[in-house]
Amino acid sequence: MRKVLVAVAGCCLLLASSIARADMPGDPLSWLGRIASAAERVNFTGTFMYQSGAHSETSRIAHRVDEHGQFERLEVLDGSPREVIRVGSEVRCVLPDERTVIIDRANSRRVFPVRLPETFGSLAESYRISKGRVSRVAGYEAQAILLEPRDNLRYGRTLWAERQTGLLLKSRIVDEDGGVVEQITFNDVRIGGEIGEELLTPRFEYNDSWRVVHAGGNEIGREETGWGATPPLPGFAPVSAMKRPLGQDRGEAIHLVFSDGLASISVFIEPLSAEAPQDQLGEQSNGAINIYKRAAHGHLITALGEVPARAVRRLGDAVQPGAH
Amino acid sequence: MKDRLSAFLDGDLDGQAGTPLLDRLRKDPALKKDWEAYHLIGDVLRGESAGSRDFVDRVMAKIDGEPVLFAPGVASAAAAGRSRGGWQALMAVAASVMGVAAVGIVAASLYSGEPRVAQMAEMKRSAPATPVLAQAQPRDRLPMRNVAADRNIEYVFAHQGLSGSGAMPGAVQYVRAVSSVVQDPAR
């Protein structure tokens, strides 16, 4: 998804530069490009609230970009302490309560410039994209960009971008009834200026006695997976395929990712094992993520994503061996 | 098979899925014995046992020897945990420790709506099998879960790793990955 976003951003940037070089583009697609690139270009620090269903949580974030690259620190302020530190291409989730560090590679997914006229095209195919009103968010003037789904296989989104820099100040996902599925809002933010070292310094030290885990599987070609979706889910293109080890005696899970440019659906395919209870098959739901499981072709197929239940079901049912 | 037996006992298998099990029960004396033992254990735990002191002791001895009787999901999850490597081990830890925002919500909805979990939690409080179970999963601060729920968490975690929250600035994407509903071990 990040890859896609960056890709979308890249395309939008290209588009933006060819269409209008003005600081404040009128075209909503250009705004999307500004939003995506602002996250990499702009120094900022602030607090934001994450809401999903009845759950909400406040976090503090600081981001600095300089000649040495990208630096970020995110700290969850509610509940148990959790921290995310980004230095260049490496992202670390630090969980002091459990003396655990999870390391993710951000590099390969976040590099400009990227592909995808096709994803860009699919974004406009899947959503009606328009400019909304200008309103205030966290004390800044913000331009709303509306993405209304053209079908019922994805949620609608509204993005509020700070007018001068394009930094995203607020994001909302809504279902077809207009109910809020998920929302992220800056309560308070300072854009630009120096981001002091103290704002980026990890609060938690860790050492060799902590558990260090490396996230991420191995990216493989889609053809190599031997699986695909037929018929494809409208608007959702395959963007990534990975292999993830399941441990000894259990082989590997194949992880396919499909995206429409904003929303994404993951499909996991693993050998059907005796310990997987059959009574867990079918649909499961919660605020933002829908899950659909079925057993077919000797495998357990799990589709999930921040999309309506019918979308994960349709994609899950379409996944079969041989198709790409 | 024991898992399925237990699930059936808990009412987690519907009639259709239970039919072959019942057939097997009729034919398999060992399974039938397990079936009776499950019922007895349940009766004892609910305080409905009319058995002798000796009977209770014998049942409890059996429990000590076989924690799987109590919480098949937990025991098999623990067993799976031992054999797991790489990604799934990571996800299991990460999920049980921090819970992704989405993960947390998934977990909350899965766990809270799961009668067997509540039942197991109840058993954990009341049964002498507690030390056995505690030993089985010393690191686990969350309520016990079954394998399926466990795996959903892994899936969601992996999904989040590959999908941002849509045009979010860098680390904001990770808020889903570190935000959590199920931080409270008392939950």
Digit-coded pLDDT (tens) for A236-285: 988 888 887 665 566 778 989 898 878 889 999 988 876 656 667 888 87
Is A55 in contact with A287 (CB distance < 8 Å)? yes
Q: Beta partners for A147?
A: A129, A157
Shortest distance, CA B103 to any CA of chain A (angstroms): 9
Number of domains in chain B: 2
Determine, yes or no, domain membership for A314: yes
Chain B residues lying within 8 Å of A74, measured CB to CB: 171-172, 174-175, 178
- If asked whether residues B177 and B124 sit together in one domain, one would say yes
Evaluate whether ipTM surpasses 0.95: no
Determine, yes or no, domain membership for B186: yes
- If asked whether residues B7 and B89 sit together in one domain, one would say no
- At residue A135, does pLDDT exceed 70? yes
Determine, yes or no, domain membership for B74: no
Looking at per-residue pLDDT, the higher value among B148 and A41 belongs to A41
Q: Which amino acid is at A63?
A: H
Which H or E run contains B177? helix B175-178
The whole-angstrom distance between residue A275's C-alpha and the CA centroid of its chain comes to: 31
Residues with pLDDT less than 70, chain B: 1-19, 21, 37-154, 157-158, 160-187
Mean pLDDT computed over A191-199 = 93
Residue A206 burial by Cβ neighbours in a 10 Å radius (0-12, 13-18, 19+): middle
Number of domains in chain A: 2
Pairing mode of beta strands A180-191, A127-137: unpaired
Determine, yes or no, domain membership for B79: no
Q: What is the pLDDT of residues B146-165, one digit of tens each?
A: 444 445 656 776 676 665 43
Contacts 24+ apart (CB under 8 A), B148-151: B148/A276, B148/A277, B148/A280, B149/A280, B149/B107, B149/B110, B149/B111, B149/B114, B150/B77, B150/B80, B150/B92, B150/B95, B151/A276, B151/A302
- At residue A108, does pLDDT exceed 50? no
Helix, strand, coil shares, percent, chain A, to 5: 20, 45, 35
Q: Beta partners for A26?
A: none
Chain B residues lying within 8 Å of A247, measured CB to CB: 80, 83-86, 88-89
Does A284 sit within 8 Å of B159, measured CB to CB?
A: no
Looking at per-residue pLDDT, the higher value among B152 and A84 belongs to A84
Does A91 sit within 8 Å of B171, measured CB to CB?
A: yes
- If asked whether residues B105 and B150 sit together in one domain, one would say yes
CATH of the domain at B1: 1.10.10.880
Determine, yes or no, domain membership for B5: yes
Is A290 in contact with A283 (CB distance < 8 Å)? yes
- Which residue in chain A is spatially nearest to B156 when comparing CA positions? A304
Interface check B104 vs A, CB under 8 A: yes
Determine, yes or no, domain membership for A35: no
For the CA atoms of chain B, what is the radius of gyration? 19
- Cα first-last separation, chain A: 19
Output the pLDDT for position A319: 95
Min mean pLDDT across A148-152, A195-199, B159-163 is at B159-163
Output the pLDDT for position A26: 75
Output the pLDDT for position A69: 87
Mean pLDDT of all residues in chain A? 81
| Angle formed by the axes of helices B115-126 and B72-83, nearest 10° | 90
- If asked whether residues A208 and A224 sit together in one domain, one would say no
- If asked whether residues B50 and B89 sit together in one domain, one would say no
Mean pLDDT computed over A299-312 = 93
Determine, yes or no, domain membership for B34: yes
- At residue A116, does pLDDT exceed 70? no
Output the pLDDT for position B40: 62
Q: Residue A321: is the preceding peptide bond cis (ω within 30°)?
A: no
Query: Which residue in A70, A171, A211 is closest to B166 by CB distance?
Result: A171
DSSP string across B59-104: HHHHHHH-GGGT-HHHHHHHHHHHH--HHHHHHHHHHHHT--HHHH
Which H or E run contains A190? strand A180-191
Looking at per-residue pLDDT, the higher value among A118 and A215 belongs to A215
- At residue A199, does pLDDT exceed 70? yes
Output the pLDDT for position A44: 93
Determine, yes or no, domain membership for A128: yes
- If asked whether residues A197 and A225 sit together in one domain, one would say no
Output the pLDDT for position A92: 83
Q: What is the pLDDT of residues A17-33, one digit of tens each?
A: 444 444 566 788 888 87
Interface check B10 vs A, CB under 8 A: no
Output the pLDDT for position B139: 35
Closest CA to A1 of A255, A292, A295: A255
Does A48 sit within 8 Å of B175, measured CB to CB?
A: yes
Determine, yes or no, domain membership for B15: yes
- At residue A198, does pLDDT exceed 50? yes
Shortest distance, CA B57 to any CA of chain A (angstroms): 30
Does A84 sit within 8 Å of B147, measured CB to CB?
A: no
Determine, yes or no, domain membership for A67: yes
Output the pLDDT for position A320: 94
Chain A residues lying within 8 Å of B3, measured CB to CB: 275, 277
Structural domain of residue B169, as residue ranges?
Answer: 85-187
Give the CA count within 13 Å in the CB-facing half-sphere of A3.
Answer: 18
Output the pLDDT for position A206: 85
- If asked whether residues A161 and A223 sit together in one domain, one would say no
* Tokens read off for A114: 């990227």
Interface check B187 vs A, CB under 8 A: no
Burial A101-111 (b: 16+ CB within 10 A, else e): bbbbebeebbe
Distance CA A154, CA A151 (A): 7
Output the pLDDT for position B3: 64
Determine, yes or no, domain membership for A32: no
Structural domain of residue A85, as residue ranges?
Answer: 40-111+120-212
